[in-house]
Amino acid sequence: MFIRMTFTVAVAGASGYAGGETLRLLAAHPQVSVGALTANTSAGTRLSEHHPHLRSLAGRELVATDVAALAGHDVVVLALPHGASGAVAAALERTGSGTVVLDLGADHRLVDAADWRAYYGSEHAGTWTYGMPELIRSAGDTQRARLAATDRIAVPGCNVTAVTLGLQPGVAAGLVQTSDLVAVLAVGYSGAGKALRPHLQAAEALGSAQPYAVGGTHRHIPEIVQNLRAAGADDVAISFTPVLVPLSRGILATVTAPVGAGVSTAQARETWRAAYADEPFVEVLPDDVWPTTAMVVGANTALVQVAVDTKAGRLVTVTALDNLVKGTAGAAVQSMNLALGLPETTGLVREGVAP
């Protein structure tokens, strides 16, 4: 099979955290050439003003986000706010270019338009192929096969990725009940974006942990439910509480679920390891080693551990990932590779950065 040597990739929303992290990965990708970089209010500025760490692209100028700038590339990455990707994607569709488009926002993730309206308050832009290659599908097909056959990819939410990867093996194996799930996530501040809001400033954030979107209001909830149903769950109810903690990046997701009688920690770990045995970027840690966010900084890796609390009758999973890499940009590049016919791991690393 003939594989092209180089693909051109444009990034819309290049000044934000997600756009910048995508550019960091693309700059090191051996089969990618970075094309147009666009923004709205930052148009006319240099990339170095927003991402001074991206030295190979520092002198590039950001241009306005419009179809003329994005058309003609092999791949377009939309790192735009929720609700903004739909119109740009529709305009690109009208060009008929056959470009692979990846949406890092939420606009195309949900299958149910009613869920979108309920949580986002606007009309649904449509459903694209879900950009989580590791998603377990009880229907028998694989998410990788779907990604290899598409040119429209909806990249998952970072919190969703952590909860899904942590829990789905138990759902698929029928070890847990999904009608009483509890998820509490420690989330780094980059997950809240670059907006200059008072509670995101250092004076408020340092030395403090702040819960947000409490009481079933977080927009990632229907996406988590959707994924667990894909893995075989029928009735899904989840109490989901994210907490901002003084980290620039990282998610540590603790999820508990009622477990079937007689299920042991050893059995659970065997189930999780079997599910992820062939996954290049998801690893179940050795017995009694628990994930930390420091283990995954800068890596496209999710680390998982699981145990059974027999006194509480609940299974506990803990998952760590870098919200900007495996939670966003890394998932985008992983899915892009599949859509382009490249090896899935191209341009991505498992090794993190420490200290």
Active site residues: 158
What lies within 8 Å, CB to CB, of 267 at 6+ separation is 175, 308
Local structure of residue 328 (DSSP, 8 states): I
What lies within 8 Å, CB to CB, of 89 at 6+ separation is 78, 101, 103, 107, 108, 125, 152
Burial of 59 (0-12, 13-18, 19+ CB in 10 A): exposed
Q: Of 71, 69, 63, 67, which Cα lies nearest the Cα of 47?
A: 63
CA–CA gap between residue 329 and residue 334 (Å, rounded): 9
Strands ordered across the beta sheet of 32-39: 63-64, 32-39, 7-12, 75-78, 100-103, 152-154, 129-130
CA–CA gap between residue 28 and residue 237 (Å, rounded): 41
Q: Of 105, 6, 4, 9, which Cα lies nearest the Cα of 60?
A: 9
CA–CA gap between residue 284 and residue 50 (Å, rounded): 36
**Token reading at 304:** 């998982």
The Cα-based distances of 31 to 18, 73, 343 in angstroms read 21, 14, 11
98 φ/ψ sector (left φ>0, alpha ψ -120 to 50, else beta): left
Asked whether the beta carbons of 31 and 338 are under 8 A apart, the reply is: no
